[in-house]
Chain A
């Protein structure tokens, strides 16, 4: 196993997966059939030339492999770790029909980590165009857009409301899945291109829409950071958190090290995490590391859990107790939470997406004694800045509507990432940002041509 042993890893926030050695990577790469029509590539949202880079790994040509990956993916150390490979590249790999699919994510991560150990040259930028772009938000979409636009010769300023750049990569995904130095390295590589980063700047407030209009273009990458709540009784008791709050307290503010760090968090003796996605798994596994007994309550069946398979498995190994086909109806307590009341669900006919629709079973109420509840049932698009822009067309959930090139309904305003799709994935945010940055660059260059 590449994972650190359970007893060891649940005591700290260091990375769980140790990754491959060179020998292991080369041996794994050997398994690739080098398909003429590689299905894996069609499964990768950014179309990395997987057989090519895998061949290079098999031959021990890691620099070459890195060159191939980086042609398509600027954040391979991150994607190799957090992509839901089983429904993307690895899900399509033909090897998967008979045996385990090729561990493409692991190989990508291996190559990226090897490169991180070397002094990587800063990519060259084109000569300055004299154009300026404001990028709002420094999550994966913002980082990628800034990098692409800076390399195209534009002057880029990123506005980020938090005190650290990285978006969800920093405040949401725990360090045991994605070590923070990786995020910092990637951000500093982008800054080395001459990008200006303004932390503590909330677009719409610290810098107004009018001020932003002074830029030649605005790239909105504000993400889907708006936590949803259940809307049930007791949800505002002390000890009820949104996953965002809980994870931010621990990941960004280091509440796990309170009082060495000043931000506190409730270390529940028994914690209920509501939800079944990556966010829920992360909240559950962080709680385990804070010493809690953790119940994960999910309304559908186990096989419907939307989180990455590997993380579900790890959560289970670490002692998270899964209570599936159950739904909370009430949180109980005086000031503090002391219990949660749930009902059992049964699965009925399939909905349009082919998933069964959960329905409450009458008279199936049951109670769990818990002293903290973490609500991880999803996040909506960040409404604040988008809501301030007149004539900006938005979807029904509050997403920003864009065309295939990331152009919004307002001229010179582009958008990509979770703010356009709702909560999705790092790779989709990156891919869309890259495409939108390219079309933004064309627009700015077009200006030049007609000027």
Chain B
């Protein structure tokens, strides 16, 4: 069992938990994730490792279905059944020169560790984060601390620049030399970043989020097509060369269980209501 050390709501529909998991915390690096299972009947779901402190890791998640809703109800002192990790390859941090770390929505969760590692490797780090609107924005202050410069955009202009992170990135690409880009966020955003940076020929990594089961390379659920080849995101990724990823296929595969997911969430809410909350 893994103890929740801290739990908080951090934005509209977005929560963070700190979980005590020494085996993960010990070796976790930027770009990696965990697979967790809340209880005996739980689904295994992947979440990015967002920060590490001593024995604990921070997970930040958006409530989209049954498991994330269940997680959002946890409080300090609660326990979850399983935390496996760290999984996936760490980000390919090198001294590139100038690096942009682009985060969108809940994907910003993974940005600080990448930015920090890039900075420590001697890069000039530009942070670009965005959200639908002010209430959905996360980790602004933290990103400020781990980037040399930070740009913020909201779709509705309620905070920072009015527009998408890609608009800001485009401005920066036109203004100066950027040597490497990380994009982490909704698939559609990562696809947009990939199309944007392709003509500039800038090396771009995206952190893919296909549906996973084991997270260890055993099931193939997370397969994605990269450069025409089948790769398993949980062990070969989750970061891949953005310009070679088949995003449309990924988006289709992410819809596989839409009906079942809705069913599970409704049922959970019904039961929770009957039991009077938690």
Do A and B originate from a single complex? yes
Say whether B230 contacts A248, CB under 8 Å.
no
How many residues on the A side are at the interface (Cβ–Cβ under 8 A)? 43
Say whether A238 contacts B82, CB under 8 Å.
no
Within 8 A of A (CB), among B6-41: 23-24, 26-27, 32, 37, 41
Q: Quick one: given A242-B219, A262-B264, A264-B257, are A254 and B82 in contact (CB under 8 Å)? A: no
Interface flag for A166 (CB, 8 Å): no
Closest CB in chain B relative to A212 CB, distance in Å:
12
Interface flag for A176 (CB, 8 Å): no
Say whether B43 contacts A229, CB under 8 Å.
no
Docked Cα-Cα span, A163 to B260, in Å, equals 23
Q: Quick one: given A202-B216, A254-B41, A262-B66, are A238 and B256 in contact (CB under 8 Å)? A: yes
Residues of chain B touching chain A, judged by Cβ–Cβ distance below 8 Å, are 23-24, 26-27, 32, 37, 41-44, 66-67, 81-87, 213-214, 216-221, 223, 225, 230, 235, 249, 252-253, 255-257, 260-261, 263-264, 267
Docked Cα-Cα span, A382 to B214, in Å, equals 13
Closest CB in chain A relative to B30 CB, distance in Å:
14
Closest to B88 in A: A205
Interface flag for A239 (CB, 8 Å): yes
Closest 10 CB pairs of A and B: A264-B260, A245-B219, A262-B43, A200-B84, A242-B220, A225-B218, A238-B256, A163-B82, A227-B220, A261-B41
Say whether A226 contacts B23, CB under 8 Å.
no
Interface flag for A258 (CB, 8 Å): yes
**Chain B residues within 8 Å of A85, by CB:** none
Give the number of A-B contacts (CB < 8 Å). Answer: 117
From B66, B213, B253, give the contact of A253 (CB < 8 A): B213
Docked Cα-Cα span, A201 to B43, in Å, equals 18
**Chain A residues within 8 Å of B67, by CB:** 262
From B41, B85, B225, give the contact of A206 (CB < 8 A): B85
Interface flag for A179 (CB, 8 Å): no
From B216, B230, B267, give the contact of A229 (CB < 8 A): B230
Say whether A200 contacts B83, CB under 8 Å.
yes
Q: Quick one: given A200-B83, A207-B23, A335-B252, are A262 and B219 in contact (CB under 8 Å)? A: no
> Which of A198, A200, A266, A384 lies at the interface centre, i.e. has the most chain B CB atoms within 10 A of its CB?
A200
Residues of chain A touching chain B, judged by Cβ–Cβ distance below 8 Å, are 161-163, 171, 198-202, 205-208, 225-227, 229, 231, 235-239, 241-242, 244-245, 248-249, 253-254, 258-264, 266, 335, 382-384
**Chain B residues within 8 Å of A208, by CB:** 27
Q: Quick one: given A161-B214, A206-B24, A248-B214, are A258 and B264 in contact (CB under 8 Å)? A: yes
Closest CB in chain B relative to A297 CB, distance in Å:
19
Say whether B213 contacts A249, CB under 8 Å.
yes
Closest to A334 in B: B252
6 A-B pairs in the complex with CB atoms less than 8 angstroms apart: A198-B23, A200-B82, A206-B85, A226-B218, A245-B221, A263-B44
Docked Cα-Cα span, A227 to B256, in Å, equals 20
Docked Cα-Cα span, A383 to B257, in Å, equals 29
**Chain B residues within 8 Å of A248, by CB:** 213-214, 218-219
Closest CB in chain A relative to B90 CB, distance in Å:
9
Docked Cα-Cα span, A241 to B216, in Å, equals 16
Docked Cα-Cα span, A254 to B219, in Å, equals 15
